[in-house]
Amino acid sequence: MGLNLDGKKAVVAEVSAQVAKAQTIVLAEYRGIEVGDLTRLRAKARQGGVYLRVLRNTLVRRAVADTLFAPLADQMSGPLIYGISADPIAAAKVLHDFAKSNEKLVLKAGGYAGKVLDKAGVQALASIPSREELLAKLLGVMKAPVSGFAVALGALAKQREEAAA
């Protein structure tokens, strides 16, 4: 059943609100994906904080008009699923990871920082470690000298203990 005018306006308003706070939009063709697989993709997207939805291209074109993502409108054709995220790499990572395990989902394009990305650009964006991964690595680097110092201090204390005995 098609949407009436009020329904279309509501969808455009909802997508516009998501685009306003987004840093990344990823477009992928979903032709032939089974419902169960699509449900798993939606669950992963929800986990990653990604707004994921199958939308009419004309409605999305209206939602991205006059935004940084306006140049992406040229790529909006065919049956597309849209991943929109405030995290710069979350949408790309969720859709790319799913596309690796399901060949029916084909990455088409993306938008990041006002630039249109092709399939290779979306894949490159998805390969960047997430914020949490980067923070964990930084913490590991910061923690290494402290733990090394503690081990050395422990060895020195043990050595002095043996010398005193």
- The domain that contains 63 carries what CATH number? 3.30.70.1730
Element holding 117 (H helix, E strand): strand 115-117
Amino acid letter, residue 112: Y
Six-digit token pair at 165?
A: 């005995």
Model pLDDT for residues 95-154, shown as the tens digit of each residue: 999 999 888 999 999 999 888 989 898 888 888 887 777 788 888 788 777 777 777 778
Could you read off the pLDDT of 72-101 as tens digits, one per residue?
Answer: 988 999 999 999 999 888 999 999 999 998
3-class SS of residue 74? helix
Please tell me whether residues 135 and 118 are part of one structural domain.
no
Which is nearest to 111 in space by CA: 61, 151, 41, 160?
A: 61
Please tell me the total count of domains within the chain.
2
Examine the domain organization and report whether 51 and 112 are in the same domain. yes
Q: Are residues 151 and 108 located together in one domain of the fold?
A: no
pTM of the model: 0.76
Q: Give whole-number Cα distances, 101 to 16, 21, 96, 112, in Å.
A: 31, 29, 9, 24
**Which residue in 72, 122, 116, 75 sits closest to 97, CA to CA?**
122
